[in-house]
């Protein structure tokens, strides 16, 4: 069975790049252009893992992560957050709201794939 990934990012280039990279590795990928649409998709059809951008207009990635962690259908979905800068404080904040892994943008294929693999192992399925 293929791993289902939801990529939530307001930047179409970053979103399309993540989708292309992951589909080449046989992931089944859906995308959302923002926090609200990402939450709607995650709740309607929960993926196996979420790749979530931090900096988005309106609802940022931290708030999306908090909402996901409180949702009955989404609270156990592993989350990989994408951060635009390599700031330890941002990573700490991402982990504090419930992310399992952080990847710095621009990301390398290997970094994204590894982060997803690790995140999937961090939350046991029930």
Give per-residue pLDDT as tens, 67-81: 999 999 999 999 999
**Reported confidence tier of residue 122, pLDDT bands at 50, 70, 90:** confident
CA pair distance 66, 84, nearest whole angstrom: 19
Task: Compute CA distances 61 → 33, 39, 50, 65, whole Å.
Answer: 12, 11, 11, 6
Mean of the per-residue pLDDT values of the chain: 92
Tokens of 65: 């992560």
Can you name the residues that pair with 79 across neighbouring β-strands? Answer: 50
Can you name the residues that pair with 101 across neighbouring β-strands? Answer: 80
């Amino acid at each position: 069975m293929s791993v289902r990934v939801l990529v939530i990012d307001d930047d179409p280039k970053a979103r399309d790049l993540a989708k292309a990279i992951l589909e080449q590795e046989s992931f089944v990928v859906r995308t959302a252009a923002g926090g609200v649409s990402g939450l709607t998709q995650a709740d309607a059809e929960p993926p196996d893992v979420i790749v979530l951008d931090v900096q988005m207009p309106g609802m940022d990635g931290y708030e999306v992560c908090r909402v996901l962690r409180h949702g009955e259908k989404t609270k156990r979905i592993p989350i990989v957050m994408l951060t635009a800068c390599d700031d330890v404080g941002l990573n700490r904040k991402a982990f504090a709201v419930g992310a399992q892994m952080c990847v710095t943008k621009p990301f390398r294929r290997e970094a994204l794939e590894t982060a997803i693999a690790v995140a999937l192992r961090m939350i046991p399925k029930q």
